[in-house]
């Protein structure tokens, strides 16, 4: 069912951040930083994959994501919803169901046998494709998925995520240079504010997280071995 009413952007961000905190998807640890996929340290980590196990929160966030995309990109802007392997696949399916559109998914690389395909499902030349992922940091992984979609002759000018780090200023520019607009529900700044209001972590931890968010590159450089 297509959502027809929704809160404003600020309320969506606040509610989304609170829901991520409620299910324990947010992890802060300044004393023993997490290692990101880039190999760099971070006092923050988020696990959006946990959302698939919480039906009420999952449903609400997928309603938010669907209406955010329709509000920002248009109500008839897409012909196909594609999920990025692997975390984007369930969320793409849920958004596609709401929009009553075909769903496909994009592999990170060809599977190496059979058709050696990167696109699974039916995607046709000229289709307008929305790429769905769970989150984005600097936007890098999205570009490979977008290129795979465009190789089919389809177009892909939009990607939507539940969570956007919101701390690397080059992200939106990098995507824009590739002809892609980013849509998201909340950022680390929204989560930090919700964590403070809800007293989810001690103030020393939250202060260190804020230091990281204000200048992540400097924070990481100071802690690299």
123, 152 Cβ separation under 8 angstroms: yes
Q: Does 2 reside within a domain?
A: no
Element (H, E) at 59: helix 55-73
Report d(CA 188, CA 191) in Å as an integer: 5
Residue 114 predicted with pLDDT over 60 = no
Q: Does 1 reside within a domain?
A: no
Q: Does 55 reside within a domain?
A: yes
Residue 70 predicted with pLDDT over 90 = yes
212: pLDDT confidence band, cut at 50, 70 and 90?
A: very high
Residue with the bigger pLDDT between 30 and 196: it is 196
36, 216 Cβ separation under 8 angstroms: no
pLDDT computed for residue 87 by the predictor:
95
Q: Does 56 reside within a domain?
A: yes
Q: Does 89 reside within a domain?
A: yes
Q: Does 84 reside within a domain?
A: yes
Mean pLDDT taken over the chain: 93
Q: Does 3 reside within a domain?
A: no
73, 99 Cβ separation under 8 angstroms: no
96: pLDDT confidence band, cut at 50, 70 and 90?
A: very high
Q: 155-180 burial, b if ≥16 CB within 10 A, otherwise e?
A: bbbbbbbbbbbbbbeebbebbeebeb
Residue with the bigger pLDDT between 39 and 182: it is 182
pLDDT computed for residue 115 by the predictor:
67
pLDDT computed for residue 113 by the predictor:
66
- What percentage of the chain has pLDDT greater than the value 70? 96
Q: Which domain holds residue 212?
A: 9-219
146-205 confidence digits (pLDDT tens): 999 999 999 999 999 999 999 988 898 999 999 999 999 999 999 999 999 999 999 999
Residue 38 predicted with pLDDT over 80 = no
Q: Does 109 reside within a domain?
A: yes
Here the CATH number for the domain that contains residue 131 is 3.40.50.2020
Q: How much of the chain is in helix, strand and coil states, percent to nearest 5?
A: 45, 20, 35
Total domains present in the chain: 1
- What percentage of the chain has pLDDT greater than the value 90? 81
């Amino acid at each position: 069912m297509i959502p027809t009413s929704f809160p404003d952007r600020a309320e969506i961000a606040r509610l989304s951040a609170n829901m991520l905190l409620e299910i324990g998807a947010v992890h802060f640890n300044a004393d023993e930083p997490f290692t990101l996929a880039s190999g760099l340290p971070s006092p923050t980590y988020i696990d959006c994959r946990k959302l698939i196990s919480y039906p009420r929160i999952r449903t609400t966030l997928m309603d938010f994501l669907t209406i955010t995309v329709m509000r920002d990109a248009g109500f008839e802007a897409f012909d196909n919803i594609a999920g990025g392997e692997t975390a984007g696949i369930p969320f793409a399916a849920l958004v596609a169901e709401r929009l009553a559109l075909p769903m496909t998914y994009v592999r990170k690389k060809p599977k190496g046998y059979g058709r050696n395909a990167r696109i699974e499902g039916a995607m046709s030349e000229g289709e307008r494709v929305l790429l769905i992922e769970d989150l984005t940091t600097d936007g890098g992984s999205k570009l490979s998925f977008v290129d795979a979609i465009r190789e089919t002759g389809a177009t892909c000018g939009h990607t939507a995520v539940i969570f956007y780090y919101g701390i690397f200023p080059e992200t939106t520019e990098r995507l824009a240079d590739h002809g892609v607009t980013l849509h998201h529900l909340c950022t680390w700044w929204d989560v930090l504010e919700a964590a403070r209001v809800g007293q989810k972590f001690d103030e020393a931890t939250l202060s260190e997280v804020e230091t990281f968010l204000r200048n992540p590159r400097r924070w990481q450089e100071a802690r690299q071995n």
